[in-house]
Amino acid sequence: MSHVFHRHLHHQYPTAVAGDGPYLIDAQGRRYLDACGGAAVSCLGHSDPQVRNAIAEQVANMAYAHSSFFTSQPMEQLADFLVERAPEGIESVYFVSGGSEAVEAALKMARQYFLEIGQPQRRHVIARRQSYHGNTLGALATGGNAWRRRPFEPLLMEMTHVSPCYAYRGQESTETPEAYGERLAAELDAQILRLGPDSVMAFVAEPVVGATLGAVPAVPGYFRRVREICDRYGILLILDEVMCGMGRTGTLFAAEQEGIAADLTTVAKGLGAGYQPIGATLVSGRIRDAIAAGSGFFQHGHTYIGHATACAAALAVQQVIEERNLLARVRGLGEGLEQRLRDRFAEHPHVGDIRGRGLFWGLELVENRETKAPFDAGRGINGRIKAAAMQAGLMCYPAGGTVDGRQGDHILLAPPFILEEQHLDEVVDKLGTAIDQVL
C-alpha cells in the first residue's frame, strides 16, 4: 500500500518516470500523449532542454533565498519580462507558488488597496457561478462550483455569485450573443446596486472558464461591459488567467482578445509549465502606488515567494515561447484542432457543444442533444472517459461543472504548444475511441 495520501485513495496510479516532448512515460514503458497538460500546465511538454539547463544552472548558483532578506536576479528578470508584455497598466508582479496562492494574494491586495486609499467599507467580492479559482479557502469561496464548495461551505467567507457567460446554456434562442452579454452585464450591475456600490471591492472572473466547464470563452463585448461597470463604481477587476493565460488561448494573456486590462491578473500553470511550481499576481500601477504611498508593506506572504529556481524556470519557459514564436503556433495548431474536433464530433449524439480558443478546447457531453439534458451524475461519464483515454495512451482532463444542479460532463483539452500536426490526429483519434468506448 502506498503511504502517499493520494487524492483518490482507491485508485491505482501508473508511475510516471520520464517525459519525452508531449509524452509522459510510465514505469512499464507505456507512453501517454499529454493532451491536457495535466491541468493545462505543461505547455512546453516534458523535456525541454533549455528549461532544464536554466534550472540546473540556477540550482548550482543559488537555489533559494528568502524574499524577506534578498531579491534575486531570476525574480527581477521575470518580473521585467512579464510587465513588458502584460496588458496596459500592469507595473509589478507578486510571485507565489501556484494558482490558488495567486488568487488569495489578489483578494488581499484588493482589500489592502481600499484600506490604503481610505475606503475600508469595501469588502464584498462578486464572482461567477461555474467558476474555479482554487482550493484554498479564499479561492474556494470565490469559485462558484457547487460540488467543490459543498463540504466546506461553513468555512467559506461570504461571497456573491452572478451568472457565468456560458452561451451554450445561458443564451436564449431569441437572443444575439451581444444581447446575451448585455443581459449578463445588467445582472452584474443590479447585483452591485443591491450590495451598495461603495461596499464592493472586486469582481473576479476567468476570461475563458476552464476547470469547471472545459474552455468556455465569453461572448463578444461581455468583458468590455464588465470593465465599464467596474470603472463606473470604482470596483477592481480581477481576471483569473491561471488556466487560460500565458499563451494558452493564442495571445500571452487571454484578456488581450477582449480588448481590456484588469487591475489584478493571476497567472500560474503555463507560467512555469510544470518545470517548477510558480504563480503570480500581476498588479496595476495604481494599486502598487497606493500601497507604496501608504503603509509601504503588503501584509501577506509565503515562504516561497519569488523562489529563485522557480523564477529561473519560468523565465526560461517564457523565453522559449517567445524565441520559438510558439504563440503563432498555438493559433495555427488551434485551428487544426478545432477543425478535427468538429469533423469528428459535430454530429456525435452525445457531444452537445465544442468550444474553445487557441489550444484550449472543451467538449460538453450530454445525454440528449435536443434537450441538452446532462447525464446522470452517478454514471461518472467524464471520469470514465479519462480512464478509457489513459488506456488508449492519451491524457484528457475531466472538467465537472454543475449543470442543472447536477455534476456535468466536460472534457478539457490543453495540449502543449510544441505539438506537430500528426499529434492532433492522435489526440482526436484516441479521444474518439475513449468516448465511443464509454458512450
Of 126-134, 145-153, 248-256, 318-326, the segment contacting ligand PLP by CB under 6 A is 126-134
In the block, residue with C-alpha cell 507604496: 292
Q: Which of 337, 364, 109 is nearest to 213 (CA)?
A: 364
Closer residue to ligand PLP, CB minimum distance, 262 or 428 = 262
- In DSSP terms, which residues pair with 124 in a beta bridge? 200
390 binds ligand PLP (CB under 6 A): no
Interaxial angle between packed helices 308-323 and 73-85, expressed in degrees from 0 to 180 and rounded to the nearest 10: 40
Q: Which of 353, 437, 422 is nearest to 390 (CA)?
A: 437
Please, what is the minimum distance in Å from the beta carbon of residue 196 to ligand PLP? 28
Q: Which residues of 222-259 are buried (b: 16+ CB within 10 A; e: fewer)?
A: bbebbbebbeeeebbbbbbbbbbbbbbbbbbbbbbbbe
Of 98-106, 189-197, 225-233, 403-411, the segment contacting ligand PLP by CB under 6 A is 98-106
243 binds ligand PLP (CB under 6 A): yes
Does residue 204 contact residue 130 with C-beta atoms inside 8 Å? no
User: From the list 46, 124, 128, 133, which residue makes contact with ligand PLP (rule: CB under 6 A)?
Assistant: 133
User: From the list 238, 246, 264, 268, which residue makes contact with ligand PLP (rule: CB under 6 A)?
Assistant: 268
Tell me the C-alpha distance between 277 and 97, whole Å: 5
245 binds ligand PLP (CB under 6 A): no
Please, what is the minimum distance in Å from the beta carbon of residue 426 to ligand PLP? 25
401 binds ligand PLP (CB under 6 A): no
User: From the list 211, 363, 365, 388, which residue makes contact with ligand PLP (rule: CB under 6 A)?
Assistant: 211
Does residue 397 contact residue 39 with C-beta atoms inside 8 Å? yes
Closer residue to ligand PLP, CB minimum distance, 87 or 214 = 214
282 binds ligand PLP (CB under 6 A): no
Please, what is the minimum distance in Å from the beta carbon of residue 296 to ligand PLP? 28
Total chain residues near ligand PLP (CB under 6 A): 15
- In DSSP terms, which residues pair with 203 in a beta bridge? 126, 237
Q: Are strands 402-403 and 406-407 parallel, antiparallel or unpaired?
A: antiparallel
270 binds ligand PLP (CB under 6 A): no
Q: Is 262 helix (H, G, I), strand (E, B) or coil?
A: coil
User: From the list 99, 274, 356, 408, which residue makes contact with ligand PLP (rule: CB under 6 A)?
Assistant: 99
Contact positions toward ligand PLP, by CB under 6 A? 39, 98-100, 103, 132-134, 206, 210-211, 240, 242-243, 268
